[in-house]
Amino acid sequence: MDRTTLNLLRLHLSPGLGRTALFKLQRYFGDFNQAVQAAPLQLRAAGLSDRVSSNILPADAPELHAAVESLTALNARLLSYWDPDYPALLRQIHDPPALLYLRGRLPEKDCFAMVGSRNATSGGLQLTRELARDLAEHDICVVSGLARGVDSAAHRGALDAAGSTIAVLGCGIDRIYPPENSRLFHQILEQNAIISEYPPGTPPHAGHFPGRNRIISGLSRGVLIVEAAEKSGSLITGDFALEQGRELFASPGAVKSPTSSGANRLLKDGAQLVTEVNDILQALWPQRLNRQQQKHIDRLTEQLVGSPLEVYRQLNHEPQHIDEIGRKCGLTPMELSAILLDLELRGGVQVLPGNHFIRGQI
């Protein structure tokens, strides 16, 4: 750990010295190495209170030594607001974390947040997992909070597709909360990232989670709420999303279900409806729809040979009658019907009324 990072950690661990104070010190001194050497009078001139100015940790403080040892053992790094690797979208919110504790590696790709009920229905969990998997297949990183229910399903869906996911914690990066997510925690660590603005050893206090939620939305282009109750913490994430200028989405739930009342209200208030991944892609990344469709076309073209390949190449986005396709390909109705059925099962063809066919919609 270099000297500047060590001194930034030293300041962050000082009692009462939080995010706002770090920004004040950086603005006043321009260098955290100078800030730790400053006299209390200078620190007060920088905007710190008398109490905080007198409580800067000494360089040999046991808690500083313990934190350095913990971060080293965890193979973790500190990522400050002034670091060029700091997430660009998160830097744009009005209250960005001054310091992030990071385990793993932050992906360099677009991010989308998915949060919701800790007591979600099986249908809500299945939808979340499928959407997260589909987003990961479109090379989009799924961000969530590693909580029970929807958060866990979101992370698992991204992992199903061997995609990227970021877990944002409301505790230290050495704490696994909830404990039953231990396996998921370590699966995320293998190829992805776990971050927190709280130092190692920090327990999961309830007051930490709203701050955690602002980071989840701050990292992301959009936020999806799944099965949130009226007083759900997920709605706080939705509020942050709107405040930060992010797109807000919600998936509908049963009208009378208390676990969906909050998400349903968001839809009534103008949140974008999501029932499939294309609802998200169309709003945020419409170019990826065509890109994924081309990948699907290329993959099918590689898999097909002979008459099935010829039939597939004849299909486009203009409806064609089965007799017209048969004439172009020189196939009997029985041969063509078998090929079209196989292509339909592969997602390569879509059947329209009146025995008309078009290339499959992705």
In tens, the pLDDT along 40-64 reads 999 999 999 999 999 999 999 999 9
In tens, the pLDDT along 296-355 reads 556 777 888 899 999 988 888 788 999 999 999 999 999 999 999 999 888 888 898 889
Contacts of residue 74, defined as CB under 8 A and 6 or more positions apart, other chains included, come to 103, 173, 174, 200
Find, among 130, 88, 136, the residue nearest to 112 by Cα: 136
Indicate the average pLDDT of the chain. Answer: 91
b/e sequence 21-37, b meaning 16+ C-beta within 10 Å: bbbbbbebbeebeebbe
- The mean per-residue pLDDT over the stretch 130-157 comes to 96
Q: Is the domain covering 287-359 a CATH 1.10.238.10 domain? A: no
Say whether pLDDT at 231 is over 90: no
In tens, the pLDDT along 8-49 reads 999 999 999 999 999 999 999 999 999 999 999 999 999 999
Question: What pLDDT is attached to residue 84?
Answer: 93
In tens, the pLDDT along 162-213 reads 999 999 999 999 999 999 999 999 999 999 999 999 999 999 998 999 999 9
The CATH class given to the 1-73 domain equals mainly alpha
CATH topology of domain 104-284: Rossmann fold (3.40.50)
Say whether pLDDT at 362 is over 50: no
Domain ranges of the chain: 1-73, 104-284, 287-359
Q: Which two tokens stand for residue 321?
A: 């009658």
User: Would 1-73 and 287-359 be classified into the same CATH topology?
Assistant: no
Question: What pLDDT is attached to residue 254?
Answer: 76
Say whether pLDDT at 115 is over 50: yes
